[in-house]
Chain A
Amino acid sequence: MSILTKFTGKNTNQYRRSAFWSYGVVIAGFILVSAMNSAGMISNSLQGQLVPICAYIAMAVSLNLVVGISGELSLGHAGFMSVGAFTGVIAATLFQSLPFLWVKLLIAIVVGGLFAGLAGVIIGVPVLRLRGDYLAIVTLAFGEIIRNVLNVIYVGLDEKGLQVATSMEGIHLSENGSMILNGPMGATGITKLSTFFAGFLLVLFTLFVVLNLVNSKHGRAIMAMRDNRIAAESVGLSATNFKMTAFVTGAILAGMSGALFALNYSTVAPVKFNFNTSILVLVFVVLGGIGNITGSIISAAVLTILPEALRQFSDYRMLTYAIVLILVMLATNNPQMKMFLSGLSKQVKAVFSKTKVYHRPQRAEEKGGAE
């Protein structure tokens, strides 16, 4: 059984309750930022971060589905992001003559999601049949392989169609043609299609998919598999099927956020989606709380803005970043802090819904995970 199991201390009731918070945080955040933006209170550099923040939130939430809900460690989430990014850019270029921006963006995001999902199936089918933490190793390799493959892929487009080769010389375009992918330089000459509103919608979509999955019968089976694989098999669940569902759904959502991310820039290089990015997203998940969707949203947003906000500290920027990470870990693990936060959330919830909050016995945390 995965080492992650003992850190995921949530039962199904709690997921149902936290859905309220997840949507609330995202919608409130969007309204707030939009209002500040129209009041001219958001700096240029932060404006440029808005779409990446949305993409990273979607990345963190989808990785949390894999790591937190299904309990499998994935170290190559950025690999799926990059599959989605580059297939999305190709799709957007192929359909560039279509009239509406949002139609092209939608096509790019769907295509990016499909290809990333396909990559997820190819990895998941052999690996998820094994017991143990093999997924971590294989996804780690996948992230590196996909980046190296993209480094030698050249794609051009002219009126005769797409041309794909492993070097610049292999591509012979007519005068009207243009390059889409340039090996290590990545995608160049992208028409920017992504908007903050589109990012907001993608985050909502991601939440909708993940939270509905978590609260379904299927989701309960996924968590049962994480909590106790032998017990889950003994009640007739197929380990492979349920882990696949979570993993491939996570890959599709990562691909979609990859397409959104790439179409926010004029150029995107494969190196943007390297191991560091996978780890960065994992840090969002761990810091926000494994299995805690709202936590992922907040930590992805804050930790994407933070390095920018710390720019004034110049040389000490990364040092400050590390200190902030440590402080957050200490604060969120502090029992008093936990009690304060849960008391706060209960009070706020009581205002919104008059239903009685069910109190979970405290001992569950200590006993959970010990078998």
Chain B
Amino acid sequence: MGTILNVENINVYYGAIHAIRDVSFQVNEGEIVTLIGANGAGKSTTLQTVSGILHSKTGSVEFCGENIAKVPAHKIVEKGLAHVPEGRRIFQQMSVRENLEMGAFTADASTIPSNLEMVFHQFPRLKEREKQVAGTLSGGEQQMLAMGRALMSNPKLLMLDEPSMGLAPILVEQIFDIIKSLNEAGTTILLVEQNAQMALSVAHHAYVLETGRVTLSGTGDELAASEQVKKAYLGS
């Protein structure tokens, strides 16, 4: 299994704020990798740098062997890297189906029917609400829609930014079940979470981010067993 994403020594600034400091991490093909950390640790900033919305001053972001650090965001999706941004960013005014079709904007139109079928298979709820206006979906459904939309581009790597945010425990479990099943179906996943317990339970590899730096890394089980992580993120 090769490395699909290799982030090396990135430094990202918001004006004078140095948000990401020398961060490096890898994602291997077929894995679920998670970045955990508290509010403001720089998790979203890291994902946005990988997907080209922000750019690093130093280092490199290698995706499938190609340095994409300078590639603009709209070209990165075409390369097979999909980003589900934080906070359920869906197109409120469009129907569920139209939202999904937007996800295939850069893809070949002929791929839409089979990908729609795949998304509806993963998210039967969306199928039931195909014609509903997306703004009227419940929070959990909106999260499913945002994930389904990203899957429409047939990504090699799916990046999820806090998919469990603001969801009831039962829905959180459901979302994580879907993440696992997507991974089993062959999608590599980079998951950002504050819900460390859930994230570590599904992750093959994990990184802990603290104020812009990677402070710990290991397999999901190793980190779940680590005293430091237990104290800071697992509340025990």
Contacts and interface: CB of A to CB of B under 8 A. Distances in A.
Interface of A: 8-13, 217, 220-221, 223-224, 227-228, 230-238, 241, 358, 360-361, 363-364, 367-371
A227 B87 contact: no
B84 interface: yes
Interface stretch (B92-100, B192-200, B213-221, B225-233): B92-100
Contact of B92 (A227, A233, A235, A238): A227
A1 to B, nearest CB: 11
Contacts of B85: 230-231, 234
A224 B92 contact: no
Given A11-B93, A12-B94, A237 B136 contact: no
B92 A371 contact: yes
A367 B133 CA distance: 10
Contacts of A231: 85, 89-91, 146, 149
A235 B106 contact: yes
Given A361-B132, A364-B133, A235 B98 contact: no
B74 interface: yes
Interface string B104-142: 011000000000000000000000000111011000000
A224 B92 CA distance: 9
Nearest to A11: B93
Interface residues of B, number: 35
Q: Top 4 nearest A-B pairs by Cβ distance?
A: A236-B77, A231-B89, A238-B74, A236-B106
Contacts of A236: 73-78, 105-106, 153
A368 B106 contact: no
A223 B93 contact: yes
A368 B92 contact: yes
B53 interface: yes
Contact of B98 (A12, A360, A364): A12
B45 interface: no
A273 to B, nearest CB: 34
A277 B145 CA distance: 44
B91 A227 contact: yes
B68 to A, nearest CB: 13
A136 to B, nearest CB: 22
A228 B150 contact: no
B51 interface: yes
19 contacts: A11-B94, A11-B98, A12-B94, A217-B105, A220-B98, A221-B105, A224-B91, A227-B93, A230-B85, A231-B85, A231-B89, A233-B74, A234-B150, A236-B106, A241-B74, A363-B136, A367-B135, A368-B92, A370-B135
B136 A367 contact: yes
Contacts of B75: 236
Contacts of A364: 92-93, 133, 135-136
Given A11-B95, A223-B93, A369-B92, A234 B72 contact: no
A272 to B, nearest CB: 37
B29 to A, nearest CB: 22
Contacts of A369: 92
Contacts of B132: 361
B73 A360 contact: no
B102 interface: yes
B43 interface: no
Given A231-B146, A234-B51, 7 more contacts: A10-B93, A11-B95, A12-B93, A12-B94, A223-B94, A231-B89, A235-B149
